[in-house]
Structure 1
Amino acid sequence: MTKPSPATFPDLLDVIIIGAGPCGLAVAARLKEETPSALFTDDEHQRYHWINKHSGRMALVQAHHRKRKGVKADKWRGYTSRQSFSSTNSEGSPPSLASSASSVSEESETGAVDVDDPSPSMLVLDSTGDKWMERWNRAFKTLEIEQLRSPMFFHVDPGDRDGMLAYTQEMGRDCDLWEIPGCVGKELSKHKKKKKKKMRSRAVAIGEDEIDERDRKDYFSPSTGLFADYCSSIVSRYGLDLPGMIQQREIEDIGYDYHSELSPFSKIFTVTAGDGTRFYSRAVVLAVGPGRTKVLPFQLSGEEVNGACHSTEIRSFPSLNVKRKIQRRQEMNVVVVGGGLSSAQIVDMAIRKGVSRVWFLMRSDFKVKHFDIDLSWMGKFKNYEKAAFWSADTDEERLEMIKTARNGGSITPRYQKVVKQHVARHRASIHPRTVISSHEYCPVSQTWRLTTDPPIPDLPPIDYIYFATGMQADVNELPLLQRMNREHPIETKQGLPCITDDLMWKADLPLFLTGRLAALRLGPGAPNLEGARLGAERIAWGMEEVLGRRETEDTPTEFED
C-alpha cells in the first residue's frame, strides 16, 4: 500500500523548539551546523574551508544530501577569518586564536540563504517575544548586570569552543572582558598560599590551583553587551533570523498521537498555544529554562503583592512606592532574600538607586564562588567528575552529585567585595542562616513588620521585599506537560525527569528536554551556557536518528517501484 505523501499535510514541521533562550538558540544553531566543534577539530575545520575555497578547481567527491552523517564539501561555509589560513599560514605554523573562528559566515554577510539547506525545518515558540534571547536580555537590562558569571568558553556556538574569544579579538573588544582572578596558575606564592588557607578556613571556595596556566585565556568573563552581540552573530550566521521563525506564543499543551492525514504508523506532535492555534511537528524540543514554579519563603496573598515580588517578576527597579519615597528623600528599608548572585546584584542596585538600607537575608551560609558549580567540574579534573557522573548506577546518585557540585546559591568574589563595601558604609547588613518566621503587611503605610529567626535587633518597618530565591524545576508541575505526564508517564527524581541519554522523554517519543530539566543526564552544569551547548549536541544526535528514520520510511529507495 502506498503511504500518504507528507505534502498532504503542509503544516508539518520537522522540529518545534519551545523557548527562544540560550538553550533554544543552542539547539537551533547546532541543527544548522554540519561540522560541530564537538566532532571536528580546528585542523578539520581548516581543511573543510580549503576544500570549499577550491571546490571549483578540483574534482571532489560530493556527499549526497540524504547521507546526513557525511561531510558535504559544497555546503560547508567556514568562518570569514579562516580565509587567511591558506595565505598567511603557508609555512605550517599554527594560526593565532583570532584566526581560528569568526562569528560571521560568508553566506550571512551577503544575506544569501541556501535554498538547498538540508537542515530540519523548524519553528520556535516563545512566551516572551519573537526574538532570540528576549527574556534573557530583558532580565540583564532590568537588573543592570554588566558582566556574565560564565567564562569565555561557555556559550551557545556549536562551531568553535573558542568562538567568543575569537569574536572578541576580531571585533577589538578586549575592553569588554573581565579577568576572573584566582582561577589560574598551579604555582602559588607563599603569600597566596597563606591567604588561600585562611579563606578555606572560612569556607570560601576559590580554587586557585584548579586551572592550568595554559587555560588562562579562557578565564575571562564577557560583558552582557558582548555576549548579546556574539549571540546575534550566531543567529545571523545560521540564518536563524528569518521572518516568522520565532513566534510569541504561550504553549498550553503538547500531545503526541497519530493523525488521520498521515501514515497510520507515524505519530506526530500537536503543540497547542493559549489562543488555540495548533502547530504540528515530528519532534519537539523543550528549552524553557528553570521552570515556572517560584521558590518563596511564604506565598503572597491579597495586597501583599504590592509590597514584594520574586526577582523574575521585576519589570522596573525600584518598585513604585520605593521610588516615590526616594523622590521625597524619605528613609526607606528593603529586604533581599536569597543567597545567589542575583540577590547580591539586587542589594547593590537598590543602594545605588537611593535605598537607605538593605537587609540581606540568606537561609544558609554566605558562600563565595567564581561559578555556580565547583571548579572541579570545569578545570583539570572535569573529565574525572563527568565520568563519575555518567557512570553512576542510579539517578539518585546523580542527583546527590548535582546537589554537592552546586551546593546552593553563591556569589562571586567581585560582588562579595561590592556588598562588603556597602556593609562598611552602613548601607547594608548581611544575615546568614536567617529566615523570616512571621510577617504582617500594612496596606495603608505599604510597609512590612517582619520577625526573623534568629531575631535581627531593631529591624525597622520594611518598605519592600525582593525574593531572589530561584525557581523550582519540576516537570510534574509544568502546565504544558500535563498531558505528557498523564498519557506517557516517566519516572522523576525531585521534579527532574529520568529521560534517555539522548535527552528524549522516552526512546520512542521524540520530545527532547534541555537545560535544567535535563540535569540527570547532563550533570550539574545543565542550567549553564555550557550545559546548553552540551544538550544541543546530544539532541542533534538524537534528532539525526529520529528524522533519519522518518526519511527511511517516507523516501522510496532506488529498488522500489
Structure 2
Amino acid sequence: MKYINDCDSVLGPSIDISLMEEKTKDRSFTIKHLPYLRSIDEVPETTELVIVGAGLAGITLAARAWHLGFSEEKIAILDTNEMFAENFYKRTKNVKQKVMRSSYIHHLAPSEDLSLADFGRLAIDELSEIEKKQLHLARMSERSLPPLDLFLSHVNHVVKAHNLHNRGFKFDLAKVEQNTDGTWTLISKSGSSIKTKYVILALGQKSKEVQYSNLVINAYEADISSYLNNESNTVSVIGGGNTAAHIILECLKNGKRVNWIIRDEERYACTDIPHKYWRDEGFLPYMKLSLSERINKIKEIYKGSAMLEHYEIFQEYKETKQLNIIEGEGIIDISEDNKKHKTIKLSNDIELSSDLVISAIGLAISSFPEFTNSEYDLFNDFPVLSDETLELKHNKNIFVASSQSALSLGPAAKNIDGARISAERIFSEIAMREGIINKKNKKLKKLTNWSRINPVTN
C-alpha cells in the first residue's frame, strides 16, 4: 500500500472526510445537464477552425479560441455525444461523486474570465461550512476540493459565456481528408462534411474493453443506482483508481461487503498527476527524455490511485473486515452458478464469491479517425507531435490536445489543467500564422500563460 502525500501545499494537505459524506444539496447553481449540441443538419459547410471533442478539453480550447476572434461562423465544435462534457458528467454522476479531485486552480476558463474560485465566491451563501473552508484554502493557493456541482455549473457558465452552445454540433467523425489547397475536410459516418483551415483533435478517453462483459458491470457506462440493490450483499470491484474508490465508498455506505481487487497495489495520492508536471520543474526534464523514456514515465504516472480522503475513510472498514483488499493479483477466470453468484479465480488460486462484479479498470485514449490523402505516426498508440506546437507530424494545421498529446505535453495532458497548457501552445502557433502576433510580439505569450503557476527551473 502506498500513501503519496505530495500535495502542492505549504500548510500540508487539508483532509476532511466529511466532504465525501455530505448530503447533496438543492441549490440554485445546481444543473440537471449541460448544454446540448446542435443537430448535424446544422453543421456549416466551411469554417476556419474545427475542434473535435466537446469535452472538458474541447471547451477549454474553444473558450481560448473565442478570445482570439474565432467566434460565430469561424469555429465549429464537433462531438458524437448529445451534450457538452457528457462523458465527464455521466461518469461522475454514475458513481455518485460529490467532490472534485482536482483543486480549484484546475478549471476551464481562460485567465481573463471568471475563475472557478471566484465563481464559488459569488455562490458563497449556498456553500456549506466545510465547502467554505475549502474555498478559503483555494484563495490561499492551498489544496482545495470544489463541490462537483459547482464545478459543472462553472463548465456550463464557460460554454454559454463564450457562446459555444451555438457552435457545437453532434457529428460522428469518420474521416479526415486533406484537400489540394491545404485545407481539411472532416466527414461524418453519415456522409456530412465540413471544410476548415485548422483542426484541433481533443478526443479524450474511452472506457477500456471489459473482459467477461456478460458477468461484469462496466463502471464507466452503468449508473450505480441501477445495480446496487438490497439483493447484493458482497461486491467485488476491479481497479485501483478514483472511480473504483468512489464505487467502493458507496457500496460500504450501503452496508455491502466489498472485495477490492487491484492488479498493482493499493495507492492513495493527493492528485492523479504530480503537480510538478504542470510546471517547468516537471515539464523540462520530461522533454529531455527519449520517446521510449516518455512512454515509460507516462505509464508510471498513470497508475490508478484513490484520494487521500478515501484512505482515511477506508481504514475503519478494513478493521471491521467489511473491506477486503486484494492487491498484486490478476484475474484468471470469472464464472456464474445457477443462483447468479459470481466466482472470481485469482492468479494466486484464491477464489472470491460475489453477488456483483464491477470493473473500473480505467480509461484508454480514444482512437484517431481515418486519415485520407495524409499519414501520421504513432508511437505506442500515441500520435507523434511537434513538442513546441502540438501539431501532428506531416499534417500542417492539425493539432492534438487532451490525452492524445501526452507524448509531447507530458503526463498533465489527461488532466483538466492540461487542456489549458495545450491551448497555450497551440494558439500561440495559430495566432502567429494568422498574423495576430509575430515572433517579436510577446503579448499572446503573456495572455495565455495560464498554466505556469510559480514556475520552478533548475
User: Is 1:14–1:281's contact at 8 Å kept on the other side of the alignment?
Assistant: yes
Alignment of 1:121 with 2:74, yes or no, is: yes
The corresponding residue for 1:419 is: 314
Structure 1 counterpart of 2:163, from 221, 231, 239: 239
User: Is 1:178–1:220's contact at 8 Å kept on the other side of the alignment?
Assistant: no
User: Is 1:31–1:120's contact at 8 Å kept on the other side of the alignment?
Assistant: no
Alignment of 1:488 with 2:374, yes or no, is: yes
The corresponding residue for 1:333 is: 234
The alignment's C-alpha RMSD in Å is 2.9
The corresponding residue for 2:154 is: 230
Structure 2 counterpart of 1:449, from 326, 332, 343: 343
- Which residue identity is paired with 1:495? D
User: Is 2:93–2:223's contact at 8 Å kept on the other side of the alignment?
Assistant: no
Rounded to whole Å, the distance in 2 between the matches of 1:464 and 1:214 is 39
Rounded to whole Å, the distance in 1 between the matches of 2:334 and 2:114 is 50
The corresponding residue for 2:175 is: 253
For the residue of structure 1 that corresponds to 2:332, the secondary structure is strand
Rounded to whole Å, the distance in 2 between the matches of 1:369 and 1:161 is 30
- 1:133 and 1:473, CA in 2 relative to 1: closer, same or farther beyond 3 A? closer
- Which residue identity is paired with 2:400? L
1:134 Cα deviation after fit: 2.3
- Which residue identity is paired with 1:272? I
- What are the within-5 Å matches in structure 2 for residues 183-198 of structure 1? none
For the residue of structure 1 that corresponds to 2:145, the secondary structure is strand
1:286 Cα deviation after fit: 1.3
The corresponding residue for 1:397 is: 293
Alignment of 1:466 with 2:358, yes or no, is: yes
Alignment of 1:272 with 2:187, yes or no, is: yes
- Which residue identity is paired with 1:470? G
- What are the within-5 Å matches in structure 2 for residues 318-357 of structure 1? 318-319=226-227, 323=229, 326=230, 330=231, 332-353=233-254, 356-357=256-257
1:222 Cα deviation after fit: 0.8
1:496 Cα deviation after fit: 1.0
Rounded to whole Å, the distance in 2 between the matches of 1:373 and 1:231 is 21
The corresponding residue for 1:15 is: 49
- Which residue identity is paired with 1:335? S
Structure 1 counterpart of 2:429, from 522, 542, 549: 542
Rounded to whole Å, the distance in 1 between the matches of 2:362 and 2:131 is 27
User: Is 1:257–1:267's contact at 8 Å kept on the other side of the alignment?
Assistant: yes
- 1:177 and 1:519, CA in 2 relative to 1: closer, same or farther beyond 3 A? farther
1:509 Cα deviation after fit: 2.2
Alpha-carbon displacement from aligned partner over 1:375-431 (angstroms, at most 9, x marks no partner): 4446xxx422222123x1522232233334x15111111012223333334332111
User: Is 1:510–1:546's contact at 8 Å kept on the other side of the alignment?
Assistant: no
For the residue of structure 2 that corresponds to 1:158, the secondary structure is coil
For the residue of structure 1 that corresponds to 2:424, the secondary structure is helix
The corresponding residue for 1:155 is: 107
- Which residue identity is paired with 2:313? V
User: Is 2:335–2:343's contact at 8 Å kept on the other side of the alignment?
Assistant: yes
Structure 1 counterpart of 2:208, from 290, 294, 304: 294
Alignment of 1:527 with 2:414, yes or no, is: yes
1:177 Cα deviation after fit: 3.5
1:453 Cα deviation after fit: 2.3
Segments of structure 2 that go 5 or more residues without pairing to the other structure are 1-43, 437-458
The corresponding residue for 1:386 is: 283
Alpha-carbon displacement from aligned partner over 1:534-553 (angstroms, at most 9, x marks no partner): 1112221233245559xxxx
Rounded to whole Å, the distance in 1 between the matches of 2:85 and 2:93 is 12
Alpha-carbon displacement from aligned partner over 1:456-487 (angstroms, at most 9, x marks no partner): 46x32x2222111112226xxx2x52335xx5
- Which residue identity is paired with 2:219? S
Rounded to whole Å, the distance in 1 between the matches of 2:415 and 2:161 is 23
Rounded to whole Å, the distance in 2 between the matches of 1:167 and 1:386 is 29
Alignment of 1:27 with 2:85, yes or no, is: no
Rounded to whole Å, the distance in 1 between the matches of 2:424 and 2:260 is 40
Structure 2 counterpart of 1:409, from 290, 304, 329: 304
Aligned length: 389
The corresponding residue for 1:312 is: 220
Alignment of 1:365 with 2:265, yes or no, is: yes
1:241 Cα deviation after fit: 2.7
Rounded to whole Å, the distance in 1 between the matches of 2:239 and 2:232 is 23
The corresponding residue for 1:285 is: 200
- Which residue identity is paired with 1:309? I
Query: Structure 2 length normalisation: TM-score?
Result: 0.77
1:336 Cα deviation after fit: 0.7
- Which residue identity is paired with 1:384? E
Rounded to whole Å, the distance in 2 between the matches of 1:424 and 1:160 is 49
The corresponding residue for 1:497 is: 383
For the residue of structure 1 that corresponds to 2:165, the secondary structure is coil
Rounded to whole Å, the distance in 2 between the matches of 1:451 and 1:511 is 47
- What are the within-5 Å matches in structure 2 for residues 56-135 of structure 1? 121-129=74-82, 131-135=83-87
- 1:133 and 1:357, CA in 2 relative to 1: closer, same or farther beyond 3 A? same
Rounded to whole Å, the distance in 2 between the matches of 1:483 and 1:428 is 48
1:493 Cα deviation after fit: 2.2
- 1:178 and 1:431, CA in 2 relative to 1: closer, same or farther beyond 3 A? farther
User: Is 2:104–2:138's contact at 8 Å kept on the other side of the alignment?
Assistant: no
- Which residue identity is paired with 1:423? K
- 1:178 and 1:455, CA in 2 relative to 1: closer, same or farther beyond 3 A? farther
- 1:253 and 1:372, CA in 2 relative to 1: closer, same or farther beyond 3 A? same
Segments of structure 1 that go 5 or more residues without pairing to the other structure are 1-9, 35-67, 69-116, 182-212, 259-265, 550-561
For the residue of structure 2 that corresponds to 1:349, the secondary structure is helix
